[in-house]
Structure formats: C-alpha cells, structure tokens
C-alpha cells in the first residue's frame, strides 16, 4: 500500500481547482450568461457544469479514503465535508460509513450501493439510500431563493439540472456499469472496468470507470487511478 505523505498537497490543490471552477462557472452562468436554447454552447455549458458537479463528489469520495489531503485528517475531512455539501447538500459524516460498507461488502445484500435488478430500479434504490428529505427541503429553499435574484431558466439549467445529471453520471459509471451482472470467482472485488482509454475514462467519470482498479487500490486518488490501468 502507498504511504500517505503529509507534505503532499497535490490532492488539496486539485480539490481547490475543482471547487473554484464549479463556483466560478456557476456564478458566471447565473449572473452573466444569457440562455439561448438555439445555441450549442448552452448545452455544452450544462455538460461542463455537470462534470464539475461530479468532480465535487469524486473529491468528497477521495476524502472518504483519506487521500484528498493525505496525512492531514482534519483538512481531509474539511475538504470532504465542503465538497459533499456543495453537491446537493450531501452530508459527509453520513456518506462516509456507507461508502466503506460498500467496499467491505461489495455487490452483496449488505452493500448499500448494490441492487439486484435493472437500471431504473437500481437507480431509484440508489437515490433512496443516499438522498434525505432535508436535502430535498434545502434544495427547494435554495431554488426559490436563487430565482429571486437570477433568471429562472439559468437556475434550472446550470444549478439544478447539472446536479441531477451528475447523479446519473456517478451512478452509471461508478456503480451500475462496474457492478452489474455476475463476476467470476477470481474477481475478489466483484467489479468490472472500462476499456483502457484515459480521455474517455476522465470525461465519463474522473477515471472511476476503471472501477476494479479503484477497489483494488482504494488508497490512490482519482487523478492517479489511470496509472493502474494495464489491461485494454
């Protein structure tokens, strides 16, 4: 296992870039961008903000494994708490034990991420496991406050819709695709993996399509995960 280095601030810097990019783009899209439904740029910006939303959660996920700020547990927890909260008010202390339960009992009845079924029942099971009523309440309050100050279409397109799309992105590439179906007995992590294509692996879900590799080496941050990819 890799040894966490207390003086390694690369994870902190990368987390700061993702968080600052998400905030900066959101502020621009709410305050300065005029929505044009006939322009491809509008939809590209929705996708970019979705990708940054996903990056918030991936950063919180790295914190769950202690690698957002290795060797600095308080800073690591702070990064995880902030980035999870910015993603639709997820509560890091609640997510942390559930995620480690997933790693301990992957693809079994004790795995909170797993559901034996097709895409939509599994996705709904996933949402019920992780979304709480108070998150929905806070999202509703925030939406109604934001639309007092910014155009409603901007709030829907660039604050609300990307959060919803990011849950699909995280679920499909990080849960459903790698864990569905039967896995051979010599697969101890009961996880599949994407074909080797680092550009697509990053664009699809910050290399978490390389999911067997993540379960095999959970101590690696997302931005080093591609290095473990050997098979095509």
Per-residue pLDDT tens over the stretch 68-126: 999 999 999 999 999 999 999 999 999 999 999 999 999 888 999 898 889 999 999 99
- Residue 2: the pLDDT is 46
Q: Where are the domains of the chain?
A: 10-228
Question: Band of the pLDDT at 231, cuts 50, 70, 90?
Answer: low
Spatial distance between the Cα atoms of 115 and 36, rounded to a whole number of angstroms: 40
For residues 125-142, give the mean pLDDT.
93
Contact 70, 11 (CB under 8 A): yes
Does 232 have pLDDT greater than 70?
no
Out of 105-114, 162-171, 185-194, the most confident range is 162-171
How high is the pLDDT of residue 133?
A: 93
Q: Which long-range contacts (CB under 8 A, 24 or more apart) does 113-121 make?
A: 113/175, 113/179, 114/175, 114/179, 119/172, 119/176
Position with higher pLDDT, 23 vs 1 = 23
pLDDT at 122: 94
Residue 62 pLDDT class (50, 70, 90 cuts): very high
Residues 6+ apart with CB under 8 A from 125: 115, 117
CA dist 230 and 232 (Å) reads 7
pLDDT digits (tens, 9 = 90+) for 210-227: 999 999 999 999 999 999
How many other CB atoms sit within 10 Å of the CB of residue 206?
27
E strands present in the chain: none
Distance, in Å, from the CA atom of 117 to the CA atom of 9, rounded to the nearest integer, reads: 41
Residue 49 has φ and ψ, to the nearest 5°, of -65, -35
The encoded tokens of residue 133 equal: 């009523």
Residue 39's pLDDT is 97
The pLDDT assigned to 217 comes to: 94
HSE, side-chain direction, 13 A CA sphere, residue 215: 22
**In this predicted structure, what is the pLDDT of residue 6?**
64
Looking at the predicted structure, is the pLDDT value of residue 230 above 80? no
pLDDT value at residue 155: 98
Residue 107 has a pLDDT of 87
Least confident of 3-12, 38-47, 172-181: 3-12
Alpha-helical regions (H) of 32-107: 40-64, 73-86, 92-104
């Amino acid at each position: 296992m890799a040894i966490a280095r207390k003086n390694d601030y690369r994870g902190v810097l990368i987390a700061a870039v993702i968080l600052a990019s998400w905030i900066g783009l959101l502020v621009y899209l709410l305050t300065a961008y005029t929505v044009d439904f006939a322009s491809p740029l509008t939809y590209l910006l929705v996708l970019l903000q979705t990708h940054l939303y996903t990056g918030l959660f991936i950063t919180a996920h790295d914190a769950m494994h202690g690698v957002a700020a290795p060797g600095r547990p308080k800073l690591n927890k702070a990064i995880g708490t902030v980035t999870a909260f910015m993603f639709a008010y997820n509560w890091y202390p609640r997510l942390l034990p559930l995620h480690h339960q997933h790693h301990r009992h992957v693809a079994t009845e004790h795995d909170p991420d797993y559901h034996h079924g097709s895409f939509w029942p599994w996705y709904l099971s996933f949402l019920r496991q992780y979304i709480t009523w108070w998150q929905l309440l806070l999202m509703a309050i925030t939406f109604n406050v934001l639309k007092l100050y910014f155009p409603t279409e901007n709030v829907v397109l660039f604050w609300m819709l990307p959060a919803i799309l990011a849950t699909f992105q995280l679920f499909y590439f990080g849960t459903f695709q790698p864990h569905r179906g039967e896995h051979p007995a010599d697969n101890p992590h009961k996880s599949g993996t994407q074909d080797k294509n680092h550009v697509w692996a990053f664009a699809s879900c910050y290399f978490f399509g390389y999911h067997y590799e993540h379960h095999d080496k959970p101590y690696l941050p997302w931005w080093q995960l591609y290095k473990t990819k050997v098979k095509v």
